[in-house]
Amino acid sequence: MKLAYASLSLVLAGTFSAQAAGFEVLAPHRAIYEVKLVDSQDRSGIQSMNGRIVYELQGSECDGISIQYRFVTRISTGRDSFVTDQQSASYESPDGKEYSFSTKSFVNDQADQNVSGSAVQTPDGIKVVHGGAEPKTLALGEGVFTSTHLLEVLQNAERGEAFVSHTVFDGAGEADKVLKSATVIGKQKTMDAEFEGEKGVESLLKKPAWPVTMSYFEPVQDNTAEALPIYEASFLLYKNGITRDLTMRYPDYELKATLSELEMLEKNDC
């Protein structure tokens, strides 16, 4: 059984702007989400699944944005049970032109994947350099990095745009491609109460947020069939980039991530 994962940083491109990215709107914070299985297809092999996501965003418009992400799950197939641990770290420069990434994954504490490298915006698109024992350079298509992606969604939401297309690179998986993304943005609304299982979200109550759905697709689609997303996320998105009430949909299963702890972090002065 092969599990597919998309990081919250992908949740949380279009044309690249050479000007400053405008990261001042993103609030440094640490969020913990409790994850549980909502639905699964028989072909997924998953009988039960639960876990936790820890997501931390730090930085400023002067320093750039650093994201630390960890997703630990406990999975049962009925016959076997195991623990998966995905860890990633990324940094995006203040102007959105440079990006570094590192992703490690483990199954029952045994190393499963280790990918790291850097990427840079060029006139011909994104150039990626992989590190490790066998360095390699990849020339990818046009796109933006993860924090610029999130910023562009927020900017379009502020303008009242209901649908936005993006192309994004986040360094996930083999870090060898950009993904097409389609974002649907609903009308802004306020939530006065916690969702079931939420904790520590008092600072978000009665503040406006947009219901957002992001769908991600392979860069090359088979024209013989309707394109289906490889990953889809629905959530409430606040003006400062914080998300809650997150649902993550994969081809064979669906997860619910409930915000259980939120800590605002100090923002560095320029």
Rounded Cα gap, residues 143 and 165, in angstroms:
11
pLDDT of residue 45: 87
Structure confidence by residue, pLDDT tens digits, 208-225:
999 999 999 988 755 544
Spatial separation of the C-alpha atoms in residues 1 and 77, rounded to whole Å:
9
- The lowest-confidence range among 71-80, 125-134, 237-246, 258-267 is 125-134
Dist CA 175 CA 116 (whole Å) = 8
Whether residue 202 contacts residue 168, with contact meaning beta carbons closer than 8 Å, is answered with: no
* Contact of 237 with 212, CB cutoff 8 Å: yes
CB 239 within 8 A of CB 208: yes
pTM of the entire predicted model: 0.88
pLDDT at 132: 76
Q: Which of 90, 140, 139, 87 is nearest to 114 (CA)?
A: 87
The per-residue pLDDT for 10 is 56
Backbone φ and ψ for 136, nearest 5 degrees, come out as -150, 155
> Three-state SS across 149-162?
HHHHHHHHHHCCCC
Per-residue pLDDT at 221:
59
Give the pLDDT confidence of 17-48 residue by residue, as tens digits. Answer: 434 458 999 999 999 999 999 999 888 889 99
Question: Side chain identity at 244, as an amino acid letter?
Answer: R
Residue 10's SS3 state is helix
The pLDDT value recorded for residue 1 is: 43
Answer whether residue 14 shows pLDDT above 90.
Answer: no
Q: Which residues fall within 8 angstroms of residue 3, CB to CB, at 6 or more apart?
A: 75, 84
Using DSSP, state whether 82 is helix, strand or coil: strand
Which alpha helices (DSSP H) does 44-102 contain, by range?
none
Determine the 3-state secondary structure of 167 from DSSP.
strand
Is the model's pLDDT at 5 over the cut of 60? no
Question: Which residue bears the tokens 């990324």?
Answer: 90
Average pLDDT value over all residues in the chain:
89
pLDDT level of residue 15 (50, 70, 90 thresholds)? very low
